[in-house]
């Protein structure tokens, strides 16, 4: 607190020494000031442990992961346990009604594996259907935005291939808290305050006696407990061929949706090879499209051509180059990123060093670009992020989402969870790679990341936050590699976000877009950016939510970082 703020606070206290000031109510003591949350981007210590580590956005999820590790599970089991818990305690961001992606280092195989557990559109939903309905875009709060949720298929694939414990044991902590109830944490309480009273199906699940829970209130979800118990006993079939699928399909059919049991029965998660670029000696890995991870790699390839050794972190010179690289990468993102099973996506060309160098030449170090177009490579998303590591050396980078807050804002009758609205990300332009087609995966924003050096694991990390995620990944990598910060310091630094680029559903950038800043960026930097032609937003908002685990050998140690912008923590043993 600076001197002026302190004196103002002290003066107000001295002027009002009455009983109310001396004895604040419980509500006053427990109130969470949103303005304070915006500024929570400093002051945490890096957590270091030898045997196991978990970093998540809610303490109960971190503890659930550690309990599973101590019960004989590995990092894969722990990641699933944390995700199951987060679906309960942070339901507006994630849950079994959504999708997931993961990158895992498998120690015994000495390699990275990638998993795309995003869902596909209904077989019975096409561009012709959308046109017949008069749609200009897919409505966000409608069963038409539903795809088959991929989360549970991802759990089954990860657990069945690389896990150690049965699913029943893994989801046990979440089931217990869903039955007994848990106290709602402060940042999540703020996010819960979305006007769910406008959505009866959400009120039926996520309100307590008709009231949205507040910080410290106890919340239980018996319907979710039943769904998780069934998944634990019967595996993914309990979801895709059982009661959950029946209820989702019934609600969809009754309210104009298109999902059928065939869509659920034929859903599969897909193992994929992560893709990478080398940034100053470190290999940064992402999941290939239909996600946006390669935008981070494109940005890094451009930024690598500039010398940051003489620049100050978060200076106007640094942030200008970051924003300009983002603009160029997102022009390509809007055109080329789509489901590779349906469209030719030039991933290798887009993330090549040659393409990055040629694009970097389009960046003027002194002037912001206001009009851009996509490149011409050779043609051949609301979220949680968590990461875990174990005593064997396995590490998992894991991201899961229902897209918007509470997804489609529909919880099908009897399910205990909200359905995602990721189908809203399809374009209705028949010429677009990301256009709506039956049984197709839409463009996805959620992206896990990983970093290796000389073929060995260095860091599992991610930054949630829709379109911000590639920008967040790049800021973390630059803070560590260019500016030599610790993993915790790299996440504590104030961030910037550029908005206004075209989307994979259409649109064009206007007047160069807008830069938005977290608190902590000096006004002098904003002036320097404005002088370069950037439009500056007057708003300050927290950008993203970061977790990371850094690994060192000789002996092995894990260094955990957790974002103070969220309720969570890094912990290990």
Active site residues: 383
Tokens 């997804």 map to which residue?
A: 407
How far apart CA 265 and CA 262 sit, in angstroms, is 5
Give the number of other CB atoms < 10 A from CB of residue 454: 8
Give the pair of three-digit tokens for residue 41.
């981007």
Beta bridge partners of 146: none
> Which backbone phi and psi does 362 adopt, to 5 degrees?
-80, -10
Give the pair of three-digit tokens for residue 260.
């059928």
Of the candidates 462, 438, 208, which has an alpha carbon nearest to the alpha carbon of residue 341?
Answer: 438
Of the candidates 244, 288, 268, which has an alpha carbon nearest to the alpha carbon of residue 95?
Answer: 244
How far apart CA 74 and CA 268 sit, in angstroms, is 24
**Residues 14, 20, 21, 22, CA torsion sign:** positive
Q: What share of residues in the chain are helix, strand, coil (percent, to 5)?
A: 40, 20, 45
Name 254's Cβ contacts closer than 8 Å, sequence gap at least 6. none
Query: Are 565 and 32 within 8 A, CB to CB?
Result: no
Report angle CA 477, 306, 377 to the nearest 5 degrees. Answer: 85
Of the candidates 356, 335, 357, 358, which has an alpha carbon nearest to the alpha carbon of residue 503?
Answer: 335
> Which backbone phi and psi does 385 adopt, to 5 degrees?
-125, 140
Beta bridge partners of 384: 400
Helices 75-89 and 222-234: crossing angle in degrees, nearest 10, is: 160
Tokens 């028949």 map to which residue?
A: 430
DSSP assignment string, 271-287: EE--EEEEETTEEEEEP
Query: Are 257 and 142 within 8 A, CB to CB?
Result: yes
How far apart CA 224 and CA 414 sit, in angstroms, is 9
How far apart CA 17 and CA 300 sit, in angstroms, is 56
Name 442's Cβ contacts closer than 8 Å, sequence gap at least 6. 118, 121, 147, 290, 339, 422, 423, 424, 425, 426, 434, 436
> Which backbone phi and psi does 230 adopt, to 5 degrees?
-65, -40
């Amino acid at each position: 607190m600076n001197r002026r703020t302190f004196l103002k606070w002290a003066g107000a206290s001295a002027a009002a020494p009455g009983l109310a000031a001396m004895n604040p109510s419980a509500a006053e003591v427990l109130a969470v000031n949103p303005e304070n949350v915006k500024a929570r981007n400093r002051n945490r210590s890096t957590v270091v442990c030898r045997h196991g580590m978990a970093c998540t956005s809610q303490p109960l999820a971190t503890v659930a992961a550690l309990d599973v590790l101590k019960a004989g599970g590995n990092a894969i089991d722990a990641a699933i346990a944390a995700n199951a818990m987060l679906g309960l305690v942070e339901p507006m961001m994630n849950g079994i009604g959504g999708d997931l992606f993961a990158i895992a280092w498998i120690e015994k195989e000495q390699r990275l594996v990638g998993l795309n557990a995003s869902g596909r559109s209904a077989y019975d939903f096409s561009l012709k259907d959308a046109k017949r309905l008069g749609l200009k875009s897919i409505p966000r709060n409608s069963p038409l935005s539903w795809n088959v949720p991929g989360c549970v298929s991802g759990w089954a694939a990860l657990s069945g291939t690389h896990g150690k414990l049965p699913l029943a044991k893994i989801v046990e902590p979440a089931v217990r808290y869903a039955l007994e109830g848990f106290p709602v944490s402060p940042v999540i309480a703020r996010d819960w305050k979305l006007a769910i009273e406008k959505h009866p199906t959400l009120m039926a699940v996520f309100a307590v006696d008709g009231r949205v829970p507040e910080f410290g209130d106890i919340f239980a979800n018996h319907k979710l407990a039943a769904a998780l118990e069934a998944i634990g006993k019967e595996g993914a079939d309990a979801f895709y061929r059982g009661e959950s699928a029946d209820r989702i399909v019934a609600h969809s059919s009754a309210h104009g949706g298109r999902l059928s049991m065939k869509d659920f029965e034929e859903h599969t998660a897909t193992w994929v090879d992560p893709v990478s670029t080398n940034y100053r000696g470190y290999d940064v890995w992402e999941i290939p499209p239909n996600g946006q991870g390669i935008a981070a790699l494109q940005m890094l390839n451009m930024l690598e051509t500039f010398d940051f050794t003489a620049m100050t972190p978060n200076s106007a010179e640094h942030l200008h180059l970051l924003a300009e690289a983002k603009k160029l990468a997102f022009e390509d993102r809007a055109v080329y990123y789509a489901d590779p099973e349906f469209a030719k996506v030039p991933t290798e060309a887009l993330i090549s060093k040659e393409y990055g160098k040629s694009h970097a030449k389009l960046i003027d170090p002194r002037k912001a670009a206001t009009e851009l177009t996509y490149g011409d490579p050779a043609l051949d998303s609301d979220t949680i992020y968590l990461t875990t590591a174990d005593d064997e050396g396995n590490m998992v980078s894991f991201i899961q989402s229902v897209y918007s807050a509470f997804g489609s804002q529909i919880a099908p009758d009897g399910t205990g969870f909200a359905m995602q609205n990721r189908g809203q990300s399809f374009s209705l332009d028949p010429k677009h790679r990301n256009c709506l087609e039956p049984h197709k995966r839409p463009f996805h924003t959620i992206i896990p990341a990983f970093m290796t050096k000389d073929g060995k694991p260095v860091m599992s990390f991610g930054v949630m936050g829709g379109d911000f995620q590639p920008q967040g990944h790049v800021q973390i990598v630059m803070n560590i590699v260019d500016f030599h910060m610790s993993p915790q310091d790299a996440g504590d630094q104030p961030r910037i976000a550029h908005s206004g680029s075209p989307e994979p559903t259409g649109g064009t950038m206007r007047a160069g877009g807008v830069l938005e800043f977290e608190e902590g960026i000096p006004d002098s930097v904003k002036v320097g950016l404005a002088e370069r032609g950037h439009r500056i937003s007057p708003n300050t908002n927290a950008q993203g939510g970061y977790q990371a685990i850094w690994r060192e050998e000789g002996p092995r140690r894990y260094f955990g970082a957790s974002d103070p912008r969220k309720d969570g923590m890094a912990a290990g043993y």
